[in-house]
Structure 1
Amino acid sequence: MAQPSRAARLAPVVEMAEEAERTAAQRLGHFQQQVNLAQSKLVELDQFRSDYQQQWIDKGGQGVSGNWLMGYQRFLNQLETAVGQQRQSLNWHQTNLNNARGTWQQAYARVEGLRKLVQRYMDEARQLEDKREQKLLDELSQRLPRHDRY
């Protein structure tokens, strides 16, 4: 019974590496979605804060009560806190994304390295087979009776 080739013996390792790369790519996609979501929430909060500040410009010129001003200031502080928290959330998600990108890049490089190794093994096996066939053909041609015509 013939032994499996070096390339065939590597097949399970390549499959495991490909699965790890697929998983890393999925995680990368998940974290990219989280970053996109956090960015859009931050944009919404910034826009809401900007709109709310516009109220001060609009109403401030008309004169406002002390209660309105205190309520405005309190809510604006809450908005500033929310914006700061959302920025932290975005930074956290971006860190996760960067880590996931690094993990995926390593997994991808491993898969590519294994694929190149398998290809090299296959090329070497093909070259050895070609040499073996050529040697066999050379031996056969030497065994054939020669009919030299003059």
Structure 2
Amino acid sequence: MTKSRAARLAPVVEMAEKAEREAARQLGHCQGLLSQAEVKLGELERYRGDYQQQWITEGRQGVSGQWLMNYQRFLSQLETAIGQQSRSVDWHRTNLEKAREQWQQRYARLEGLRKLVQRYLDEARRAEDKREQRLLDELAQRLANGERH
């Protein structure tokens, strides 16, 4: 009886395993996207640092008004790009957290189902052990009764 309950849960467990694997795959995908966004942000920030270092080097030698205007315009565009990329990193980080929560929920459900199935199997084993013991006791009693007669 109890073993059949465990068997009936097998398709549910299988679906939960599939959902957990998909959530884990999505979690890994989101982690990869966040890493790419962080790398790009780091590259933009390094480029800004290099560009600012160029200003120091060029500035010592004297620069034209046109060069200064171009520098400021480009630096402004670079700052805008860094701001956008920083927001992208934040967005990907939020998505990663949502994916992590989704995976944790699916993992917890799967583990709960596995424990339930194990409990059913343990109950079935105990019931089978009791049945066997009862049969052995009956057999022993019959043998004992048969020897007395």
Task: Sort the TM-score into its range (normalised by shorter chain).
Answer: over 0.9
Alignment of 1:1-150 (within 5 A): 5-144=4-143, 145-146=146-147
Q: Which residue type is aligned with residue 32 of structure 1?
A: Q
Which consecutive aligned stretches of 4+ in structure 1 deviate over 6 angstroms post-superposition? none
Code of the aligned partner of 2:43: E
Q: Write the letter of the residue equivalent to 1:113.
A: G
**Residues in 1 aligned to 2:2 and 2:12: alpha-carbon distance in whole angstroms:** 17
Which structure 1 segments of 5+ residues have no match? none
Amino acid at match of 2:20: E
**Judging changes above 3 Å, is the alpha-carbon distance between structure 1 residues 58 and 136 closer, same or farther for their aligned structure 2 residues?**
same
Residue 147 of structure 2 aligns to a residue whose secondary structure is coil
* Residue identity in the other structure for 2:108: A
| CA distance in structure 2 between the partners assigned to 1:49 and 1:101 by the alignment | 33
| Aligned AA (2:124) | A
**CA RMSD, Structure 1 to Structure 2 (Å):** 1.3
- Going from structure 1 to structure 2, the CA distance change for 1:74 and 1:97 (only over 3 Å counts) comes to same
**How far 1:55 moved relative to its partner?**
0.7
- The alpha carbon displacement at 1:40 in A equals 0.2
Percent identity between the aligned chains? 68
Q: Alignment length, in residue pairs?
A: 146
Structure 1 residues 104-140: Cα deviation after superposition (integer angstroms, max 9, x where no partner): 0000000001001100000000000000000011001
CA distance in 1, matches of 2:54, 2:64: 14
* One-letter amino acid of the structure 2 residue matched with residue 124 of structure 1: E
Please report how far the alpha carbon of residue 146 of structure 1 lies from its aligned counterpart in structure 2 after TM superposition: 3.0
